[in-house]
Structure 1
């Protein structure tokens, strides 16, 4: 994963950055730095800036990395010898204890620069219980002149002992006006963006780059075919399991919320295509409620070693089971 520290921090992160710059100036940056926030608010960019500033040898008065020293050039090129990264071996899987042990050994190596070493863990919520316990020992007794950055969407999913040994940096979402100004600078039309999208501009940008709209249309068609018994659940789940997990979960959450809204006779701002809209009218909200809980459970299982195809099959089958006509009204 390459660093994006050369990118300019968006306006909604300015106040948080001023606090970090103040902490650097007063030498009050903790060894463990927990960067959290909803997906799409730009916390990776913020963490990139933190890492670059910690490693830079010629920081500005505002605490920013200079961008031109040897260390900064290596950070930008993702070749800095004093950066160690810890990520799942496969996307969506847990980080294993053996990975943490190897990561810790690298942190204890003598740094090439006098600015020390930086460890990067993402997504931190995917540390397995044994991996988290192994990391806890390092956070309690960190190597000298070393900082460990943990990036997470779900800070509550981390062990309390991990959270308590880290300095928390919560990246806020932008206001709607700030988001629109940012999108305009990116030459993105904001006319079709809802309130959730405006709060997560980096997620919108990422989805556009990864053809989220095209994938959503294909998943909508597949879901409609499954419900109408025109396509086999197992084959649909097999295809969905090969798609990007984060995008699929985002689509599932949005469709679940829209299905429930229509089932409750609220069709304002619905994003459902016509075929799913017709199906939604046949859903009983009381029968749909347990399925919404299963959608949340599927998101939790995405970060485990559960069979992802079977998880998707269960979600699809249970939605079919929830499908029934509304009770007759008197």
Structure 2
């Protein structure tokens, strides 16, 4: 069976296949775009296309040849994946060195060898320096695909040695139609909300729906509302947030960031708030005395997102955030 086609990347696919027919494929691609728009699936399709023994006229893998069967079983000897040993960890130099050793040998089938590095921005400095040597002197018939949502986090020396390919989110109607097929048990309202929270990225929105992230978000926002009204202790709210943090290290902080930012937006552009489904709850919150304090909390949340990638104690992190959030409304309640 062929890998699924991500319909909204058809133009990028056609451009690459045209380059392939002209024997002008690059030795390295920097595949970028927002999280959740199908970059990994696109790279997998391209890898299958290059390794397939009988690709179709449109370039897609046939799905039935011996190579395609090995790809489906993840046993193809010329298909390599470079990724962290654990989610949230760095890609280390030893993994890159092992990859380089494999690439120094002749390919098993005499055709292309394809490597995906994802997420590429988590390579540590030694790993990045090691893969740079391969980018400078690429092996024949080898394509390296570096996949990232944050290309600016990669060293400029690496970016300059890859052909950039930026994938875009689909238009809202296309994204909603796809999401409703992917998550048929959810209502259109839930699908629209998930897409808005995912900034229009269909794969990310589907993840929100499948993993019931909308309910987690609801619990987090209720904790924030309770703190603002004085009904919830900040430490109890922090415990709620910490439970969400165990599921995803970035998302709860991102949602709190948008909640705080929406309070600021209400003052000058209430039609552009992120949490549009909870406009009434936002408007009913006690107005903080100083909006400068909200901006300070936004800065703190930005820093917190970076700190989640370290060994910081998440309980202390969230307690600090919730105490500051609650403190914005103390004077008003008094």
Segment of structure 1 superposing worse, 307-316 or 68-77:
307-316
2:203 is aligned with 1:207: no
CA contact (8 A) 1:220 1:273 kept: no
How far has the Cα of 1:152 moved from its partner?
Answer: 0.7
| Counterpart residue number, 2:135 | 139
Equivalent in the alignment of 2:5? 8
Deviations 1:46-93 (Å, cap 9, x if unpaired)? 111111112112112212111111111222222222222222222222
Q: How does 1:1-330 map to 2 (within 5 A)?
A: 6-10=3-7, 12-186=8-182, 187=184, 189-192=187-190, 193=192, 196=196, 197=198, 199-224=200-225, 228=230, 230-232=233-235, 235-236=239-240, 238-262=242-266, 266=270, 270-272=276-278, 278-279=284-285, 281-282=287-288, 284-302=290-308, 304-307=309-312, 309=314, 310-323=316-329
Relative distance call for 1:66 and 1:250 in structure 2 (3 A) is: farther
Determine the C-alpha separation between the residues in 1 that align with 2:320 and 2:96: 32
CA RMSD of aligned residues (A): 3.0
- Deviations 1:161-197 (Å, cap 9, x if unpaired)? 1111111111111112222332344446434515735
Listed as ranges, the gaps of 5+ residues in structure 2 are none
Contact 1:52–1:72, Cα closer than 8 Å, also in 2: yes
Shift of 1:143: 2.6
Q: Per-residue deviation at 1:301?
A: 4.0
Give the unaligned 5+ runs of structure 1: none
Figure out how many residues of one structure are paired with residues of the other and give that number. 321
Distance 1:324 1:117 in 2: 61
Query: Are 1:260 and 1:285, in contact at CA under 8 Å, matched by a contact in 2?
Result: yes
Q: TM-score, normalised by structure 1?
A: 0.83
CA distance 1:237–1:251, shift in 2 (3 Å):
closer
Q: Which structure has the highest helix share of the two?
A: 2
Contact 1:5 1:48 in 2 (8 A): no
Question: For each residue in 1:73-117, what CA deviation from the matched residue of structure 2 results, as whole angstroms up to 9, or x when unmatched?
Answer: 222222222222222222222222233223332333433222232
Distance 1:157 1:23 in 2: 28
* Cα deviation, residue 242, structure 1: 1.9
Shift of 1:305: 3.3
Deviation per residue, 1:115-173 (Å, 9 max, x gap): 23222211112122232222211211223322111111111121111111111111111
TM-score, normalization: structure 2? Answer: 0.82
